[in-house]
């Protein structure tokens, strides 16, 4: 199996043209919005810290492992929000790290609706695991003679239109097509990703709510990715939902408000793609810690 992944790596650097992988995908995307849309920074009416770990395609050696950490908050001037987001994504011998700062400015469309404009700027790291270079077949390949590990700058932008019960976002977190390879023989471009997100909260009773959400991702040279999810919310403390990613996976998630600042969640995805015979599924663990401002225009916690 180890030799198989070495072969994949060699093929990777031998192709004349290849596209860099897409940004990571998540089951609980609705809680990780600031990672893809800088206009979301400061929208939680207080300090918000979110940590997420995803183990994708369990049972497959070298499958993606992703960790994200984000923190954001509005400033004393509530129109301005600031944040920092970090993503570490490892697949096989490849490692991507994204370190970005987020800025948002919010205007009032009317008494209930706000529109935020966001900018994201920072650096992306691309590197190959040192273990790859211990194999003789790799050391003998001239393509590996150069330096692969490198940082490249990038920036992104986004819009976030929201009210107490709904939201709509449009963003492109990376707008520069950096080439992760310094050779002339092939290119490994960071493709621009466009995200469209949305959701709504329906009041079913005094204690029950229904929250459908959706995410569409468009990338040059890759199929359209479309996620749909729906969650029932009990007493604003328990969230139980299901998700579907077209031609890829179905899943379920549960989140608990342990106490006022802390929420924990778990999600599981079952593959319905060609990988189904080789994997037992994907797992996510979520932690959210928030300190809401005392003076806020929202009567209840934000549901997205």
How many Å apart are CA 10 and CA 80, to the nearest integer?
47
User: What is the average pLDDT value for the chain, to the nearest integer?
Assistant: 84
How many Å apart are CA 235 and CA 231, to the nearest integer?
13
By the 8 A CB rule, do 112 and 121 touch?
no
Task: Find the mean pLDDT for residues 223-245.
Answer: 94
What are the pLDDT digits (tens) for 49-98?
999 999 999 988 888 999 999 999 999 878 999 999 999 998 887 888 99
What are the pLDDT digits (tens) for 6-18?
434 433 433 333 3
CB atoms inside a 10 Å sphere around CB 39: 29
What are the pLDDT digits (tens) for 102-122?
999 999 999 889 999 999 999
CB atoms inside a 10 Å sphere around CB 14: 12
Compare 259 and 100 and report the one with higher pLDDT: 100
Q: How many helices (H) and strands (E) does the chain have?
A: 2, 17
Of 106, 143, 103, residue with least CA distance to 121 = 103
Q: Where are the domains of the chain?
A: 2-292
State both tokens at 134. 């211990």
3-state secondary structure of 84: strand
Does domain 2-292 sit in CATH 2.40.160.40?
Answer: yes
State both tokens at 210. 């229904």
* pLDDT of amino acid 298: 57
User: Which residues face 68 on adjacent strands?
Assistant: 52, 87
DSSP per-residue letters across 28-67: TGGG-GGGT-GGGTTTTSEEEEEEEEEEEEETSTT--EEE
The model's pTM is 0.85
State both tokens at 208. 């029950």
């Amino acid at each position: 199996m180890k030799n198989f992944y070495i072969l994949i790596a060699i093929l990777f650097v031998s192709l004349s043209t290849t596209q860099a992988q897409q940004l990571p995908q998540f089951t609980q995307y609705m809680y990780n919005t600031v990672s893809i849309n800088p206009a979301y920074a400061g929208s939680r009416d207080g300090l918000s810290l979110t940590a997420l770990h995803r183990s994708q395609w369990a049972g497959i050696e070298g499958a993606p492992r992703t960790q994200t950490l984000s923190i954001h908050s509005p400033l004393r001037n509530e129109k301005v929000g600031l944040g920092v987001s970090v993503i570490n994504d490892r697949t096989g011998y490849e490692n991507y790290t994204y370190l970005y700062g987020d800025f948002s400015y919010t205007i009032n469309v009317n008494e209930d609706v706000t529109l935020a404009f966001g900018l994201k700027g920072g650096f992306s790291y691309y590197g190959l695991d040192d273990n790859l270079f211990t194999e003789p077949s790799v050391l003998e390949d001239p393509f590996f003679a150069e330096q692969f590990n490198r940082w490249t700058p990038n920036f992104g932008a986004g819009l976030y239109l929201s009210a107490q019960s709904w939201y709509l976002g449009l963003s492109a977190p990376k707008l520069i097509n950096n080439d992760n390879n310094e050779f002339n023989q092939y290119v490994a471009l960071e493709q621009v990703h466009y995200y469209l997100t949305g959701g709504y909260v329906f009041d079913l009773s005094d204690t029950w709510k229904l929250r459908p959400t959706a995410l569409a991702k468009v990338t040059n040279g890759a199929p359209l990715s479309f996620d749909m999810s729906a969650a029932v919310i009990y007493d604003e403390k328990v969230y139980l939902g299901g998700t579907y990613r077209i031609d890829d996976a179905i899943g379920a998630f549960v989140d608990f408000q342990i106490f006022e600042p802390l929420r924990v969640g778990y999600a599981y995805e079952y593959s319905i793609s060609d990988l189904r015979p080789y994997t037992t599924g994907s797992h996510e663990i979520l932690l959210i810690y928030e300190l809401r401002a005392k003076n806020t225009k929202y009567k209840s916690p934000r549901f997205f």
